Amino acid sequence: MGSLAPNIVNIINKIMKKALILIIVFLFFILSINTCWAKFPNNLPEMKIMPDNPFYFLKIWYEKIITFFNFGDEAKAERYSKLAEKRLEEAKQMAEKGKQKLTEILLKNYNKYLNKAKEKVEKLQKQAEEKIKERIKQEIEQIKNKAQEFIDGL
């Protein structure tokens, strides 16, 4: 029983070392991308990792993380639009390479991001319409109150 505790400690140390290595690799990937955080959502970055690359999943994770930290419907709509544009460009390049299955997957993702962008834009339009209606309603109330004050003063 005395040798059980050192074995558990060794196992935990091995797990922590692997986790630390994974975190370092992930951070290296994020920091090695040469686009500026402020510009990333508005500019198409160079496509260094293509869908036929075994590390493409890291690019997708990175994009999902950046998307998660885009707050507000307008920022999300812009982000989804840019991601749709990127998937379309990647689909074109995969089609040129003759990779039909990847092209189809990328076109589905293009449509998914495009639909998400449209949903956010529609939501923004509804919010804008509601704000306009509320503002007009408040202006009408103010006019009514002024009219009532005028009538009461007669």
Q: How confident is the model over 104-129, as pLDDT tens digits?
A: 999 999 999 999 999 999 999 999 88
Q: Higher model confidence: residue 18 or residue 41? A: 18
pLDDT score at 31: 59
pTM over 0.75: no
> CA 39 to CA 44: how far, in whole Å?
9
